[in-house]
Amino acid sequence: MLSELLTEEKIRFSNDSLTWRQAVTQVAEPLLAAGDITSGYVDAMIDSIAAGGTYIDLGYGIALAHARPESGAVRTAISMLRLAEPAPLLDQPEHSVDLYFCFAAVDAAAHTGAMSSLARILSDTETRDALRDARSAADVTKLITRFEETR
């Protein structure tokens, strides 16, 4: 399922030094461009994090930015941003994140399916390391497809 949502055009890499706000904005850009979310969704994610939303920190330097469906989710979608330098959530070093995902779901069924697929991939140490070692969107999609085929 994740391989159907996280396509090459929704995977980005950045060598720039970013703040967490810039990282969230950049990870959301592919979804916004595709019409999967509205600009209000991006604003809602940033507002939620600014209000103390370090809960999006999944550990292992990974964050899952998201908002409520009614904040502007148009279609269920996922994007990814790999940073060369971590962008700590709320500028807190204990929440250093270099792998940002943006997730939008329009209903509970889509949310559950996509999240369980992402959770399986991110809970595998070897796959997490391979995501960080990937140098292109094609590398990431191949990795995810291979993972899904073997599970």
Q: What per-residue confidence (pLDDT) applies to 96?
A: 95
Domain chopping of the chain, boundaries: 2-150
Q: What per-residue confidence (pLDDT) applies to 53?
A: 82
pLDDT tens digits along 13-30: 999 999 999 999 999 999
Q: What per-residue confidence (pLDDT) applies to 110?
A: 65
Is pLDDT of 62 > 80? yes
Q: What per-residue confidence (pLDDT) applies to 114?
A: 74
> Are 8 and 149 within 8 A, CB to CB?
no
Strand order in the sheet with 62-66: 11-14, 77-83, 99-104, 62-66, 57-59
Q: Where does the pLDDT of residue 111 fall: very low under 50, low under 70, confident under 90, or very high at 90 and above?
A: low
Q: pTM for the whole thing? A: 0.94
> Are 19 and 91 within 8 A, CB to CB?
yes
Class of domain 2-150: alpha beta
